[in-house]
Chains A and B, each alone.
Chain A
Amino acid sequence: MGEKVYIVIPAYNEAKSIGKVLRKLKRSGYHKIIVVDDGSKDRTSAISNKQRVIVLKHIINRGLGGALGTGIKAAVEENADVIVTFDSDGQHSVSDIKKVTTPILNGEADVVIGSRIINKKEHMPFYKKVGNFGLNMITFILYGVYCSDTQSGLRAFSKEAAQKLEIKSNGYEVSSEIIKEVGKNKFKLKEIPIKTIYTDYSIKRGTNLISGIRILIKLSIDKFFR
């Protein structure tokens, strides 16, 4: 496989988990890794540097959207063929990367989202399911694209899609913004069922009700008033 697959990992204060995530990735043969340290106050950068991956450091914290935007831009500059976004908290399984990159390499899709919902075996906590469904519906109403798991952190983009992708938002609302971009650019979207490893740690790190409401407000303002 000659294609260059780049893994983009946004990380904010993930010193506890980033080292393990990077080691797992490298063991599975993924060596082109970009960690975006989003202004962490802990040893996230130092630990990542030890693993000999590309580490980009935000001098101040900008949020998930800011970090993803930086990582994807860097991967495009590195001339990546496929760009995968991967969470730094250890909730994704490395074996799922191949599942999301394959449709892109085969030319079946421009954007692939790893969905935790369409995976029947997957047991997502109930309150997370409700919150996810709400945000999916809102994303559908606002942008006309339905995706079963808009908030998923595991995604893959073709080079062309990544070049056209315009990420403006700073926070968690970036996940919905990506779906908006799919609609706007008429990207071919594919959803692939993925596993999620729910540890206490990864549950604590994810979006909660408050951030869900914040996402909702930002999306509606963006849609109706700008």
Chain B
Amino acid sequence: MMSVLQIVALIFSLFALSRVILRTKDSKLSPKEFVFWTSIWLSLLGVVFFPDYSTKFAEIIGLRRGVDVVIYSSIGILFYMLFRLYIKFEEREQEITKVVREIALLKKKNRKR
């Protein structure tokens, strides 16, 4: 018998995996990102359906429960991704400024002619 948690996790992961495959087909995700996201969702399924294995793994690295591993690593990954997003965002901001600057300077040159 599957528990409610397992059913929810299964539906959610399958949905997420289908998005990953579709976005990769659209070239919105690179092959590298495809591998990253697929392994994230598959490992979620692994933890939910084989809790004994994840608990063993947790004990090896010094935690009590498999769920703890998931929570701690999720927070770590989330922070890292947020940070990367921030850097990307800043880079875009600086590029926008370059474009705005060039437009302003071009207008000045055109006025002079």
Contact = CB atoms under 8 A, between A and B. Distances in A.
Interface of A: 36, 39, 54, 56-60, 62-63, 65-66, 69-70, 73-74, 77, 168-170, 218, 221, 225-226
Contact of A70 (B87, B93, B101): B101
Contacts of A54: 108
B94 interface: yes
Name the prevailing secondary structure of the B interface residues: helix
B101 A59 contact: no
Contact of B100 (A60, A74, A168): A60
Nearest to B103: A59
A103 to B, nearest CB: 29
Nearest to A54: B108
A152 to B, nearest CB: 22
A74 B111 CA distance: 14
Chain A to chain B: the 4 pairs with minimum beta-carbon distance, closest first: A66-B97, A56-B104, A70-B101, A62-B97
Given A221-B86, A225-B87, A170 B94 contact: yes
A70 B94 contact: no
Contacts of B86: 221
A74 to B, nearest CB: 6
A221 B108 contact: no
A36 B107 CA distance: 12
B79 to A, nearest CB: 12
A213 to B, nearest CB: 15
Contact of A56 (B87, B93, B96, B108): B108
Nearest to A217: B86
A56 B105 contact: yes
Contacts of B105: 56, 70, 73-74, 77
